[in-house]
Amino acid sequence: MFSMETLDAYQEGKVLLIDKPLNWTSFQVVNKLRWEIRQAFSIKKIKVGHAGTLDPLATGLLVICTGKMTKQIDTFQGQIKEYTGTLVLGSTTPSFDLETEINETFPTDHISEDLIYKTTNQFVGEIQQFPPVFSALKKDGKRLYEFARAGEHVDIPSRAVSISEFEITKIDKLNLDFRVVCSKGTYIRSLAHDFGKMLNNGAHLSSLRRTKIGDFSVDNAVGVLAFEKAFKAI
């Protein structure tokens, strides 16, 4: 859990586990923590970075590194990740989540619970995945979401990702709760979209929460407000 430290500790390097709030970007969280540390210790600059972006509509674990620990960011980014969330059958969106409006709907009468459970097996192991066009990946020096928002078509190559566990934990009509354990670079939005396609249907992500990165767990993370309050008390 979070505890206050000296300036030397932050400069030498700390790993902070933050539970990212809904609608915040990962960049905003980093900026907020950097500002609070600078204000608390009256310093002009300190290195702060995160080990793996979360979409604004996702919540959960952000591993934040300060000072010399920022050199370990690549190591943390490469570790196995666990997510929980909900996907919705019967409809798709251009962004594969709720950032954009539903653009197509599908009849779902043919989809049984047995078919849903069996289909998860198709995604366990190494799979080829196309990143969402609404993503921060770059092509020709431009973010993919810039092409998407301008209505421009762009060819995105697929890439290999590894999924070690994928389970449906609850079925509530068209809403499927799931848990997935996967490699770096896996897009859960794409997984939801592809799951719908595998059912000869459509699907999109309605909620997402990152619960683990390697041995780090969101159970040991603190919220941004808790971090801010602790620093205000210095």
8, 19, 55, 215: the catalytic one is 55
Residue with tokens 């849903």: 116
Q: Cα–Cα distance between 69 and 17 in angstroms, integer?
A: 13
Q: How far is CA 109 from CA 83, 90, 104, 116, 205, in A?
A: 28, 10, 16, 13, 20
55 tagged catalytic: yes
Kindly give the interhelix angle for 113-120 and 188-198, rounded to the nearest 10 degrees.
130
Return the HEC string of the chain: CCCCCCHHHHHHCCEEEEEECCCCCHHHHHHHHHHHHHHHHCCCCCCEEECCCCCCCEEEEEEEEEHHHHHHHHHHHCCCEEEEEEEEECEECCCCCCCCCCCEECCCCCCCHHHHHHHHHHHCEEEEECCCCCCCCEECCEEHHHHHHCCCCCCCCCEEEEEEEEEEEEEECCEEEEEEEECCCCCHHHHHHHHHHHCCCCEEEEEEEEEEECCEEHHHCEEHHHHHHHHHCC
- The catalytic residue positions are 55
